Amino acid sequence: MSVLPSDRGSELPPQSFAPNRSCRQARKPQRKPMQISVILCTYNRCQTLANVLDGLASQALPESVEWEVLVVDNNSSDRTPDVVAEFCQRHPGRFRYLFEAQQGLSHARNEGIRQARGDILVFVDDDAIVTPMWLQHLTEPLRTGIYAGAGGRILPDWCAPRPRWLAVEARYALAPFAVFDLGSEAGALSEPPFGANMAFRKDTFTRYGYFRTDLGRCGRGLMSNEDTEFGRRLLKAGEALRYQPSAVVYHPVSKDRLRKSYVLKWWFGKGRSDIRAYGPRTDSRFLIRGVPLYLLRNLARWVLCWLFTLDSGRRFRNKLSVWATFGAILECHRSQAAAHESPNRS
């Protein structure tokens, strides 16, 4: 189910909205329609934000291509407005500042979509490291009219030594660090790309709805799936997506994320997000307090595997499955409780 948010982002009062004023004053008259809008949502990351904006300003695109960068400030309390104002002054007409007071990554991205002028919308994280040809390579398939979206390669930038307990051989072992690597061969995507490196034609949001606001990061929470749920929506509708391995983004893996507690919390949030986005299995007939019986069986199985596996690496992987399954169980129970409360409130 797609959710088309009705809430709009609000601008800051004029006296505190210097970034947008400087952008508007310096913007050159557009001689041709905008083709590409890069949407970068940020929350209290002014230090890494400057590095990302430097990389975006250095993108190698033909002069004939009109493009812009929209920085959506999702209620930051640090120096984010000042950082963006500096780039607006240094690169007139290239950068724009937006303020979205409603907390949540999906709210910020949806406001960026509404305000974007380009026909192609590109999404990147506020701590990503973009390569000079990234934007050119990522958007190239969308200019043909064949593809509705594209995803690039996201590789880890290890800021600290990788711990031994973190296995990399499993398919989605590095998903908590936003790593998306399907190899070096370009081709059609059969799975959705990740939000740190993806692009869609703007008209896809008109036809299929925006990012779901009940999914995605919000403050310190680790809910996810707002990006992949939208991609699955397009694939289910028969739209073609393209994998562009030459569109490379490096995603920093900081020391504070290389902790077991963070990885466990991420998989717990992923379990909740999966149920919220897609629901339990359709063959789930037997429920206990809203929880399908198969989830309870899975939990028991993973707990036993976790407790009785001797190999430390495999043991931790089993523990991750326990946390993800428990997250799914909790979300099922909460969904049933919310459904029971709704009629009473009305």
* pLDDT tens sequence across 116-137: 999 999 999 999 999 999 999 9
Closest alpha carbon to 20 in 90, 70, 76: 70
Query: Residue 218: its pLDDT value, please?
Result: 86
Under the banding of pLDDT at 50, 70 and 90, the label for residue 296 is very high
Under the banding of pLDDT at 50, 70 and 90, the label for residue 145 is confident
- State mean pLDDT over 137-155: 95
Query: Residue 103: its pLDDT value, please?
Result: 94
How many whole angstroms separate alpha carbon 295 and alpha carbon 218?
A: 26
Q: How far from 244 is each of 3, 29, 38, 52, 128, CA to CA, in Å?
A: 28, 33, 17, 20, 17
N residues, the chain: 346
- State mean pLDDT over 58-69: 93
Backbone angles phi, psi at 245, to 5 degrees: -65, -20
How many whole angstroms separate alpha carbon 149 and alpha carbon 235?
A: 10
Burial class from Cβ neighbours inside 10 Å (0-12, 13-18, 19+) for residue 223 reads buried
Query: Cβ distance 86 to 70 under 8 Å?
Result: no
Query: Residue 144: its pLDDT value, please?
Result: 87
Digit-coded pLDDT (tens) for 1-59 = 433 333 434 333 333 334 444 444 445 444 567 899 999 999 999 989 999 999 999 99
Under the banding of pLDDT at 50, 70 and 90, the label for residue 346 is very low
What secondary structure letter does DSSP report for 180?
Answer: B
Alpha-carbon torsion (320, 45, 5, 236), positive or negative? negative
24 CB neighbour count, 10 Å cutoff: 12
Query: Residue 170: its pLDDT value, please?
Result: 73
Q: What percent of the chain has pLDDT over 90?
A: 72
Question: Can you list the alpha helix ranges (DSSP code H) found in the chain?
Answer: 18-26, 46-57, 80-90, 105-115, 134-139, 202-208, 226-236, 260-278, 293-308, 312-345
Query: Residue 84: its pLDDT value, please?
Result: 97
CA of residue 222 relative to chain centroid, distance = 11
Query: Residue 294: its pLDDT value, please?
Result: 93
Query: Residue 32: its pLDDT value, please?
Result: 65
β-bridge pairing 197-201 and 287-288: unpaired
Q: Residue 207 pLDDT more than 90?
A: yes
74 CB neighbour count, 10 Å cutoff: 26
Q: What is the mean pLDDT of the chain?
A: 88
Q: Where are the domains of the chain?
A: 14-257, 260-345
**Position with higher pLDDT, 235 vs 164:** 235
- State mean pLDDT over 236-256: 95
Under the banding of pLDDT at 50, 70 and 90, the label for residue 311 is confident
Query: Cβ distance 56 to 40 under 8 Å?
Result: yes
What secondary structure letter does DSSP report for 129?
Answer: E
Digit-coded pLDDT (tens) for 162-187 = 888 887 777 778 999 999 999 999 99
Three-class SS state of 197: strand
DSSP H or E stretch at residue 72: strand 67-73
| Fold for the domain defined by 14-257 | Spore Coat Polysaccharide Biosynthesis Protein SpsA; Chain A (3.90.550)
